[in-house]
Amino acid sequence: MDSTIQIITTVIIVLALAITVIATQTARRRRQAIPLRVIPAYEALPGIVGAAIEADRPLLAGFGSPGIGGPNTLLALASTELYYQTARRAAIGAQTPIAAVSEASALPLAYGALRRAYAERGRLDRVKTDAARWYPAGPRSLAYAAALTAAFGIDRAAGGTFVGSFGPELALILDAAARRRIPTIAASDQLDGQAVAYGLGTYPLIGEEIFAAGGYLGENAAQFGALIATDTLRWLLIAAVLGATALIIRQPVLDAIGGLLGGGG
């Protein structure tokens, strides 16, 4: 590795650690001291959960096909975190939020998140064992999409979060929700699935927003600090790219301006 790249990498790592530590300590004292950029999906989630509790209807969470041990492990953990944050809020109601997975290794993740959320509320006895469900597996599984579509009618779901690995079959799920006027939060790691989520989801998530649920919805200072560090580094990277671009084009632009002025004389 080139020495310049090593230096830049080291600086980025040190900056990330420093910002994370500072933001974490600040969040422990006063979380509101550091504002976050607005993500509409996370702003809307508490209201969606509240409406479901008032209507005495469950929420539906679809993970798609990510699982543990494969290339989508981080995505499975992110989907589980969003389900946990949803269940933690819904635990005060009578209906248990439903998790639907199509990868068997994600099933214990979903059930563990559900138990953790209800245990935090002191309502572990209210957990329904059939709330975490496995449906026919496989990427772009139409059987999985059909099962979730049917769940809107059978379980009378009042809202849904579909964040994970979906292909174009996500259109079946989101269209069924839209026809029933059910609000949805949607995102996918697949390009065609993300296009569907953006077009049909009530509140789509984009890019790394999938991994920000803990920082926005949770109370863990470390997750909040990591989120602040990520956003800060993003802006620093943008500034560095713009600065480098300006330096590269500075001389050609000056030469062009000089030529125009000289030609005009």
Which residues, in sequence order, are bridge partners of residue 133? 100
Tell me phi and psi for residue 184, to 5 degrees. -135, 145
pLDDT at position 232: 75
Residue matched to tokens 């997975």: 101
Closest CA to 93 of 63, 127, 60: 127
pLDDT at position 265: 47
Per-residue pLDDT of the chain (265 residues), as tens digits, is 466 667 666 766 776 667 666 666 665 555 555 677 889 999 999 999 999 999 999 999 999 888 888 888 999 999 999 999 999 999 999 999 999 998 888 999 999 999 999 999 999 988 888 899 988 766 667 888 988 999 898 999 999 999 999 999 999 999 999 999 999 999 999 999 999 999 999 999 998 889 888 888 887 766 777 777 777 777 777 877 887 788 888 777 777 777 777 654 4
Token pair, residue 215, equals 């920082």
Tell me phi and psi for residue 133, to 5 degrees. -125, 145
How wide is the angle at C-alpha 173 spanned by C-alphas 107 and 76, nearest 5°? 30
Q: From CA 225, how far away is CA 221, in angstroms rounded?
A: 6
Count CB neighbours of 164 within 10 A: 33
pLDDT at position 71: 84
pLDDT at position 263: 54
Q: From CA 46, how far away is CA 72, in angstroms rounded?
A: 27
Handedness of CA 147, 152, 157, 163 (dihedral sign): positive
| 87 close to 117: Cβ distance less than 8 angstroms | yes
Closest CA to 188 of 171, 180, 45, 178: 171
pLDDT at position 130: 87
- Does domain 40-204 correspond to CATH entry 1.10.3470? no
**pTM of the full predicted structure?**
0.79
Q: Helices (DSSP H) in the chain: which residue ranges?
A: 3-29, 40-55, 73-90, 107-120, 142-154, 170-179, 191-200, 213-217, 221-264
